[in-house]
């Protein structure tokens, strides 16, 4: 019999029944698109030493004197293009919430499991949700970074924030972290099924499909980050599952920032080159994103579609992410159930 179900001594602080927590985490989102909301979000994001591995004094000056002066306004306009006016939130928040709610529904018959969701940057924050779980009796918590491919600038910084939160707790829960699932057969199959379904609905057949992943500086790879290799493996496995050649399904990297060399080939330059080279029909899939967001809805479906058309291309399609579709939820549930083994019976 555990402490929660045992009679407690008189005056003993209340103890919640023991539970297992599952916290799914995505990158983050501003609370609104105005200048100051964007500035808060960008400051938190770009101050992370895992995200920007620059000399701290130099970067502090660049960030505060230049970037946080001009970039919030520009990025706010980009977010305005995809903002959900009815809910007054970004699509990433809407989708991540739905993923959390649908995962909670999977465990609805198990009162010993508590499912929640959080954002690494912005709200709801990782510390706030971990604290809520601990107070609710969760003495074991599974942290699930929703990044199929591991990168220090994404997966590791989620762990950093979680560990910082645990530092403030007197009674720390045990913490497990779900590993990347870039080559998980369930994930590859879900991507393939989703692509097949969406490609079948197009009025044209793409001559080339780009698998576009968020880029990182080349220096990160040189220092041993496995991200590039995991993106390449995901693309190879997806190509094999779909029966496509290397010329048909190609790996590229998007969203570069600053003047440093990033992982190549670059998505935007590839899109322009393909159109200039005579490719008329193009589709882009973004397997590294578990939910549609600014980088998929505005950068790929918006900016890169324009690049393609302006350079002579005719038909362009942005393949939606797995999101909270049955295929997407099958991946998340599979990862969670596997990582909860030994903590729950089913």
The per-residue pLDDT for range 82-101, each reduced to its tens digit, is 999 999 999 999 999 999 99
Asked whether the predicted pLDDT for residue 168 surpasses 70, the reply is yes
Nearest CA to 50 out of 202, 155, 147, 207 is that of 155
Q: What is the pLDDT of residue 158?
A: 98
143, 159 contact by CB (below 8 A): yes
Which residues form the domain of 40? 19-181+331-339
Same domain, 287 and 167: no
Give me the number of domains the chain comprises: 2
Claim to verify: residue 138 and residue 98 sit in the same structural domain: yes
Binding residues: 214, 295
Question: Does residue 29 sit in the same domain as residue 166?
Answer: yes
| SS3 sequence of 41-107 | HHHHHHCCCCCCCCCHHHHHHHHHHHHHHHHHHHHHHHHHHHCECCCCECHHHHHHHHHHHHHHHHC
Task: Say if residue 30 is in the same domain as residue 84.
Answer: yes
Does 9 map to a domain?
no
Same domain, 177 and 191: no
279 in a structural domain: yes
Residue stretches of the annotated binding site for Fe(2+): 214, 295
pTM for the model:
0.93
For 272-314, write each residue's pLDDT tens digit.
999 999 999 999 999 999 999 999 999 999 999 999 999 999 9
Assigned domain for 2 exists: no
Q: Identify the CA nearest to 289 among candidates 184, 159, 148, 179.
A: 148
Q: Between 126-135 and 157-167, two packed helices, what is the crossing angle to 10 degrees? A: 50
Judge if 64 and 174 occupy the same domain: yes
CATH assignment at residue 224: 3.40.50.1400
Tell whether 167 and 209 lie within a shared domain.
Answer: no
Instruction: Classify residue 102: in a domain, yes or no.
Output: yes
What is the distance between the alpha carbons of residues 107 and 24, in angstroms, rounded to a whole number?
14
d(CA 280, CA 308): 9
Q: Classify strands 174-177 and 208-214 as parallel, antiparallel or unpaired.
A: unpaired
pLDDT at 1: 41
**228 part of a folded domain:** yes
- pLDDT, average across residues 317-326: 98
Residue pLDDT, tens place only, 226-267 = 999 999 999 999 999 999 999 999 999 999 988 889 999 999
Query: Are residue 36 and residue 162 in the same domain, yes or no?
Result: yes
């Amino acid at each position: 019999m555990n402490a929660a179900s045992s009679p407690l001594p008189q005056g003993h602080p209340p103890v919640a029944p023991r539970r297992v927590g599952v916290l799914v985490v995505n990158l983050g989102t501003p609370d609104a698109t105005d200048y100051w909301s964007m500035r808060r979000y960008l400051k938190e994001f770009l101050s992370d030493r895992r995200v920007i591995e620059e000399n701290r004094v130099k970067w502090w000056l660049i960030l505060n004197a230049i970037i946080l002066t001009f970039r919030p306004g520009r990025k706010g306009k980009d977010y305005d293009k995809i903002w959900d006016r009815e809910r007054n939130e970004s699509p990433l928040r809407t989708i991540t919430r739905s993923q959390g709610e649908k995962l909670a529904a999977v465990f609805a018959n198990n009162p010993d499991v508590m499912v929640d969701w959080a954002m690494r940057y912005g709200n709801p924050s990782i510390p706030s949700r971990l604290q809520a779980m601990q107070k609710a009796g969760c003495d074991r918590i599974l942290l699930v970074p929703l990044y199929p491919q591991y990168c220090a600038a994404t997966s590791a910084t989620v762990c950093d924030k979680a560990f910082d939160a645990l530092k403030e707790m007197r009674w720390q829960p045990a913490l497990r972290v779900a590993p990347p699932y870039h080559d998980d057969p369930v994930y590859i199959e879900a991507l393939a099924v989703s692509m097949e379904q969406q490609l079948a609905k197009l009025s044209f057949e793409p001559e080339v499909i780009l698998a576009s992943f968020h880029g990182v500086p080349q220096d990160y790879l040189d220092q041993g980050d496995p991200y590039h290799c995991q993106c390449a493996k995901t693309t190879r496995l997806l190509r094999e599952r779909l029966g496509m050649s290397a010329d048909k399904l190609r790996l590229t990297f998007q969203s570069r920032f600053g003047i440093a060399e990033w992982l190549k080939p670059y998505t935007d330059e590839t899109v322009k080159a393909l159109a200039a080279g005579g490719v008329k029909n193009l589709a882009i899939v973004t397997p590294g994103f578990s939910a549609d967001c600014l980088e998929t809805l505005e950068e790929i479906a918006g900016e890169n579609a324009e690049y393609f058309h302006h350079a002579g291309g005719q038909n362009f399609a942005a393949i939606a992410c797995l999101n909270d579709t049955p295929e997407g939820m099958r991946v998340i549930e599979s990862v969670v159930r596997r990582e909860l083994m030994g903590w729950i019976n089913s």
